[in-house]
């Protein structure tokens, strides 16, 4: 079911929260035909990129903003949409983004005289703030995994490191889109009509979003460097193993050649000597040591 709350200086604004994962609510909204079909499609799309659209003639504003998806097994983001039409403010959330609804309810409860745009900007500020604990959690897990990998490099630890890297990719992309959206808000004609207070609130969100992008990029770079380092270590270990096996195979080839030579059914030196087998062993060892020294000089 949708939720409706009246707010604003004159109590003439209506906030309507739409649960877009509730098919009955969505169908009811579509049947009412209050919103433009194209904007409604953007607001309901779970894969929509963060962006803003403004129609000055119709006084319609659409903001699609990336938020953290709660109660998810992975670090993922999903879009939440806001539509302003005349005196109505619509928010489009799901069960995994219901905390955004709580942000809005809390703001209206504490500051019931907020304008529609102030309510949106303050909500966006809190949404951006919700990213920081997640990135800090990723950093904490990264440090723990790094310590484990220093002790023993296992496939499980490497896969966990890879999962963190993939999660950060989503977060970095989402935060960058959000930052671009906030910058775009300043370029549309609506910005000229914002009050000084609303402009300051938008500026606060933009600064916070910029800091978030920097933090997410730094975490991504560190994690990428760690992954690359362990990838190089594994490659070096593999190279060392292959080098050792190659050396052993070459060294074992020498006795095989020598004993094969003296195993021919022809007249050979030391055939009748009681110390012939010792001489053959000595020749094999001499050639093997010589081959080993030659190999070691070349690989140094």
Residue 266: the pLDDT is 66
Query: Quick one: what percent of the chain has pLDDT higher than 70?
Result: 95
pLDDT band at 300 (very low <50, low <70, confident <90, very high): low
For position 213, what pLDDT does the model report?
96
Q: How many Cα atoms within 13 Å fall on the side-chain side of residue 23?
A: 0
Per-chain mean pLDDT for the chain: 86
3-state secondary structure of 14: strand
Alpha-carbon distance 68 to 130, whole Å?
7
Please, what is the end-to-end C-alpha distance for the chain in angstroms?
73
* Number of C-beta neighbours around residue 242 at 10 A: 10
Cα torsion 212, 217, 220, 222: sign: negative
Per-residue pLDDT at 26: 85
Largest CA distance in the chain: 119
Note the pLDDT tens digit of each residue in 225-276: 887 777 767 677 777 788 788 888 878 888 887 777 777 766 667 666 777 7
Distances (CA, A) of 110 to 8, 46, 65, 88, 103: 12, 30, 23, 20, 11
Number of other residues whose CB lies within 10 A of the CB of residue 252: 10
Percent pLDDT > 90 in the chain is: 44
Higher pLDDT pick, 49 / 3: 49
pLDDT tens sequence across 132-181: 999 999 999 988 888 887 777 777 777 788 888 888 999 999 999 999 99
pLDDT tens column, 118-137: 999 999 999 999 999 999 99
Question: Regarding beta strands 13-19 and 88-93, do their DSSP bridges make them parallel or antiparallel, or are they unpaired?
Answer: parallel
Among 83, 90, 184, 168, smallest CA distance to 131 is for: 168
- The span from the CA of 139 to the CA of 116, in Å, is 36
Band of residue 22 on the pLDDT scale cut at 50, 70, 90: confident
């Amino acid at each position: 079911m949708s939720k409706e709350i009246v707010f604003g200086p004159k109590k003439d604004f209506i906030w309507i929260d739409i649960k877009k994962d509730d098919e009955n609510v969505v169908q009811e909204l579509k049947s009412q035909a209050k919103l433009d079909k194209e904007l409604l499609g953007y607001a309901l799309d779970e894969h929509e990129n963060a962006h803003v659209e403004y129609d000055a003639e119709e006084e319609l504003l659409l903001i699609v903003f990336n938020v953290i998806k709660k109660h998810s097994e992975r670090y993922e983001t999903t879009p939440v949409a806001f539509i302003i039409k005349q005196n109505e403010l619509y928010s489009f959330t799901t069960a995994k983004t219901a905390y955004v609804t709580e942000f809005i309810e809390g703001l209206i409860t504490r500051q019931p005289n907020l304008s529609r745009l102030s309510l949106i900007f303050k909500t966006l500020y809190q949404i951006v703030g919700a990213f920081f604990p997640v990135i800090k959690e990723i950093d904490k897990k990264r440090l723990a995994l790094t310590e484990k990998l220093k002790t023993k490099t296992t496939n499980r630890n490497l896969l966990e490191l890879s999962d963190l890297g993939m999660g950060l990719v989503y977060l970095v992309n989402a935060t960058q889109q959000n930052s671009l959206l906030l910058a775009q808000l300043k370029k549309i004609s609506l910005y000229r009509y914002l009050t000084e207070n609303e402009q300051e609130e938008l500026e606060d969100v933009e600064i916070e979003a910029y800091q978030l992008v920097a933090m997410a990029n730094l975490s991504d770079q560190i994690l990428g460097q760690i992954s690359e380092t362990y990838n190089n270590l594994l490659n070096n270990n593999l190279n060392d193993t292959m080098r050792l096996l190659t050396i052993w195979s070459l060294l074992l080839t020498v006795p095989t050649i020598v004993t094969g030579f003296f195993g021919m059914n022809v007249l050979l030196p030391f055939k009748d000597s009681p110390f012939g087998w010792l001489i053959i062993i000595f020749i094999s060892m001499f050639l093997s040591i010589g081959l080993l020294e030659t190999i070691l000089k070349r690989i140094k």
